[in-house]
Structure formats: structure tokens, C-alpha cells
Amino acid sequence: MDEALDRWPELPFARWEDTQATLHMWCQVVGKVKLKLTPFLNEWWNVAFFVTARGMTTGLIPYGRGAFQVDFDFMNHSLAILTDAGVSEVTALGPRSVAEFYRDFMARLKAAGIDVAIDPVPTEVPAPVPFDVDHTHASYDADSVNRFWRILLQTDLALQRFRSSFVGKSSPIHFFWGSFDLAYTRFSGRPAPKPEGAPHFFQLAEDQENIAFGFWPGNANMAGTRLGEPAFYSYIYPAPGGYSRATVHPAGAHFNAALGEFILPYGDVRQAASPNDHLLTFFQSAYQVAADLAGWDRPALERQAG
């Protein structure tokens, strides 16, 4: 197998749609625990997960005088609750309902000495079903989950290179379990008007001018818009005049009016002679177009990479 294609595996959304929906809800269960226990950071940076060499982690979550973390291992397909007191609660990941996962995870937290209650209603999804009664989502295709993690890993590595040239405020590279995407965001340093009619959490997340970049598997967002294929994205908030008509490179990148974002299909990157360079071209082009149209002070915000 070609090395580049092996590192950027094939993963049509239809192949793992049921598994994605189940894993999405599992991540929300774990994520809501982090939301409940961590102090707030601007743009909700405190709630996100981080890609690891084996899967994803919550990172440190404070509890009492200590801390714990929750790790998804997408190589051995297990979930571990690890505390600074040396407690380790590990469970295998396999086909089971969200309701069963929810009950088991909360019980394992309590066994590890962590007593926490969360809102069992999912967020950022159309027609949410509470975790404790969700017996519909119960799929887990281990191979597809492993492929998804490998895509996240390669995207994270590419974003690490991309972010090195920006000296203004920027986010970590992190995975948002609500929208189920890996994201990185740059800020101009100027405030932005709160999006009218948006949920409170979204207004807090979009209170500054920003340009976002990331990877999304194609699942439906909270408005019910479904791309149906994996893709890389970039958008600016608030969008300046002419943004939707701009040209972004490489070929294949296009503006999706329903999403209000520029999209580059994952398949284009996977099949490119140099997937990393192809993806970095998209991120850099999307940034330059958005920043120039919005009048960002680029000389003050950028430096030569490396």
C-alpha cells in the first residue's frame, strides 16, 4: 500500500455512519463530565479533547485536591479513567448502546472516587435523545474508528506546522465533542458582534473575529445540515463582503453556501501526491483570503514559519 494512502486512510462516511453517531454520543458523555468540572476558558477551550498517539484524551480534569483524565484508545479499543491517586478504571470499547455506555461510565467514575452529575441531553445535534434512554445508537466498527483517529492524527500534525507562523491569539488544536470536529482557530484581536438568535454557548464562542480551520467527518450539525462526506473546512466570523465569491486553492476547494464555509474534500487530500502539502495549501489560502478581505493586520499577526 502507498505510504501516504496508508497514513491518510479511506473512510467514506456511509461506511461508518452508525458507528460515528454512537461514538459521537459516547464522546459527549465523557465531554460533559469535563464541561462540568473544568474552569471556563474563552471560546470553550476548556471542554475540548486532544489527539494522542493512540486515540484521544480529555487531558487533566480537576477534582477535589487532585485530578483525573479519560483516555480513548483507538488502537486497543478501550476507555480508561486514570486518577492522580493511582486508580485505573478500564473498559473495552465495542458494540453497545449509548444508554449502556452512559450507565457504565458514570458507575466507573464513582468507583474511581469521582462523584459528578451531568445533563444527559446531547448538544449540537438535531433531535437529541437523552443518553440514559438512547438504545438506538449501538454500533462500533473498530476498523473505521481506527481510520478516523489516524485521519485526526495526520490533520493534527499538519495543523501544528500551519499554526507556527501565527503570533496572534490562536487556539490549541483540539477536538470538539459537540460538533465532532478537529479544530484550530486564529483571532484578529478585535471583538465581533454576537450571532443573533444563536444559543448562548455559541455566542460565547463567537465573541471575537476569528478564522477557523479543521476536519469534519460529514455528520449533521446542530442545524441539521449534513455534508455526507469527510472534508477539511475553513470559515471566518463575521464573514466580510465578497467572502463567498473568493477563490481558494487548491483546485477542488469550494464555498459551501449551506455551511457558510470553504470545503476541501478529504478524498482530494488523500489522493494528492503530497497530502500534507495539499492540505497546507488549502489552510494557508483560506487564511489569506479571509484575513485580507476582513482587513486583518497581517504583518503584526504573522512571522516566518520555522
pTM of the model: 0.95
**Rounded distance, CA 242 to CA 255, Å?**
12
Q: Report the share of the chain in percent with pLDDT over 90.
A: 91
Using alpha carbons, select from 181, 142, 161, 179 the residue that is nearest to residue 281.
161
Total length of the chain: 306
Extract the runs of DSSP E, i.e. beta strands, from the chain. Answer: 50-51, 55-57, 61-63, 66-73, 78-83, 88-92, 174-176, 181-191, 208-216, 231-237, 254-256, 261-265
C-alpha cell read off for 189: 484581536
Tens digits of residue pLDDT in 74-107: 999 999 999 999 999 999 999 999 999 999 999 9
Using alpha carbons, select from 230, 48, 219 the residue that is nearest to residue 154.
230
Using alpha carbons, select from 184, 144, 141, 179 the residue that is nearest to residue 163.
184
Residue range 138-144: mean pLDDT, rounded: 98
Q: What share of the chain is helix, strand, coil (3-state, %, to 5)?
A: 35, 25, 40
The reply to whether omega before 238 is within 30° of 0 (cis) is yes
The CB density around residue 182, as the number of other CB atoms within 10 Å, is 25
Tens digits of residue pLDDT in 173-221: 999 999 999 999 999 999 988 877 767 776 676 789 999 999 999 999 9
Q: Which amino acid is at 279?
A: L
Q: CB within 8 A of 80, min separation 6: which ones?
A: 70, 71, 73, 88, 89, 90
Tens digits of residue pLDDT in 14-51: 999 999 999 999 999 999 999 999 999 999 999 999 99
For 143, 147, 217, 229, the CA distances from 10, given in Å and listed in that order, are: 11, 7, 12, 11
First-to-last alpha carbon distance for the chain, in angstroms, is: 32
Per-residue pLDDT at 278: 98
Q: Which amino acid is at 134?
A: D
